[in-house]
Amino acid sequence: MTDVLYFHIDNITQLVSLLFKRKTAILWRMKKEVILAISLGLFFGLLITLGLYRANSQKSSPESTTSTPSPSVSPTGVPALTITEPIDGSVFATASAILRGMVDPAHHVLIMDESTEYFTDPDKNGLFIQEISLEPGTNQIEVFVFDDKIEVAHQQINLVFTTSL
């Protein structure tokens, strides 16, 4: 009877050993599948995120229309027009504003507000100053710079005149 018991214990040990090895092999295969699934998920997630990031960055590229003017450059390399004062979106409590800027001294400046056109020439340093009238609400001010033949630069700013300040 002891022989049967030993045989039985031996078989159980072998069976457990066999199951343990098989279980380890199954777990290893499952681990490989889990690692593969996680890796593929990360890869595709990063790929989609990169695609969305690039799509959003192209939407907000400088080629889109923005209200921030950028000075253009004349052939000499000097900015053709820079409005120094007031900044775009400024709010005024009076019906007039002083517009200051810089251009090439050889150019002419045309300033247009809602109702009036102003024509001025810069001083020898390229500075120009012009008082402009404002109407209640938002005023679109356009500044054009010309040489003797063609328009060199153009900038637009919006100024607000309100009496409720």
CATH number for the domain spanning 91: value is: 2.60.40.10
What pLDDT band is residue 27 in, cutting at 50, 70 and 90?
Answer: low
**Are 93 and 34 in the same domain?**
no
Query: What is the distance between the alpha carbons of residues 102 and 127, in angstroms, rounded to a whole number?
Result: 5
pLDDT confidence of residue 67: 44
Query: What is the distance between the alpha carbons of residues 134 and 162, in angstroms, rounded to a whole number?
Result: 10
**Are 37 and 88 in the same domain?**
no
Comparison of pLDDT for 26 and 31, the residue scoring more? 31
Number of domains the chain contains = 2
- Tell me whether strands 137-146 and 108-112 are parallel, antiparallel or unpaired: antiparallel
**Are 96 and 139 in the same domain?**
yes
Q: Peptide bond before 86: cis, by omega within 30 degrees of 0?
A: yes
pLDDT confidence of residue 29: 63
pLDDT digits (tens, 9 = 90+) for 28-87: 566 777 788 888 988 998 888 888 878 777 665 444 444 444 444 545 554 578 899 898
pTM (predicted TM-score)? 0.50
pLDDT confidence of residue 111: 92
pLDDT digits (tens, 9 = 90+) for 41-52: 889 988 888 888
What pLDDT band is residue 157 in, cutting at 50, 70 and 90?
Answer: very high
pLDDT digits (tens, 9 = 90+) for 105-115: 888 899 998 78
Query: What is the distance between the alpha carbons of residues 152 and 144, in angstroms, rounded to a whole number?
Result: 8
**Residue 25 predicted with pLDDT over 70:** no
What pLDDT band is residue 15 in, cutting at 50, 70 and 90?
Answer: low
**Are 46 and 89 in the same domain?**
no
The mean pLDDT value for 18-23 works out to 61
**Are 97 and 129 in the same domain?**
yes
**Are 8 and 60 in the same domain?**
yes
Q: Is 133 exposed, middle or buried (CB count within 10 Å of its CB: 0-12, 13-18, 19+)?
A: middle
**Are 91 and 143 in the same domain?**
yes
Least reliable range by pLDDT among 5-9, 82-86, 125-129: 5-9
pLDDT confidence of residue 5: 46
| Structural domain range at position 21 | 1-64
pLDDT confidence of residue 34: 79
